[in-house]
Amino acid sequence: MSADLTVYSDIGDGGTHVWLDLNITYNLSPMLAEAGFKGWTYFRDKWVNFEQDSLHEFESNVRETLEALRKDPKSFRLLNPMNGWGTYEDLLQALQKLESIPWHRSDLQLGWSL
C-alpha cells in the first residue's frame, strides 16, 4: 500500500498541468509520524471537505517534517522498514520534490489515492 499524491493545475480546455506525481509507501508512515507529519488521511479529508486553509497547512507541515528529517538523519535511518520497502533517503527525496511546487498559485489542486 502507498499514498499517491498528484499536485496539478487546470490549464483550460479540459487540460491539466501536473506539477508532481508522488508515491510514498505506507512503510514510511512511522518515520513520517515521528518527524511530525500529520498524516495523509488528515490532509485528504480536509481537502475533500474544501477547508480553505488545507493547502497552506499541508505545505507548512511538509516543510516542518523535512526540517525534522534533516536535523537528525541518523535517528530517522533507524526507522527504515525492515522489509526494505522505503528508506529515509527515499522519503527525504520525495518530500524535497514538494518544496519545488509553487504553493502560492491559487489554481493548485491535490489529487489523492490512499
Quote the pTM value: 0.85
- Domain extent listing, the chain: 2-113
* DSSP three-state, residue 77: helix
Model confidence over 3-28: pLDDT tens digits?
A: 888 889 988 888 999 999 999 998 99
Better-predicted residue by pLDDT, 1 or 97: 97
pLDDT of residue 52 exceeding 60: no
Distances in Å between the Cα of 57 and the Cα atoms of 30, 32, 64, 76 are: 20, 16, 10, 23
Confidence of residue 105 (pLDDT cuts 50, 70, 90): confident
pLDDT at 93: 94
pLDDT of residue 103 exceeding 70: yes
Confidence of residue 58 (pLDDT cuts 50, 70, 90): confident
From CA 111, how far away is CA 114, in angstroms rounded? 10
Distance, C-alpha 96 to centroid of its chain: 9
Confidence of residue 44 (pLDDT cuts 50, 70, 90): confident
> If you average pLDDT over every residue of the chain, what do you get?
88
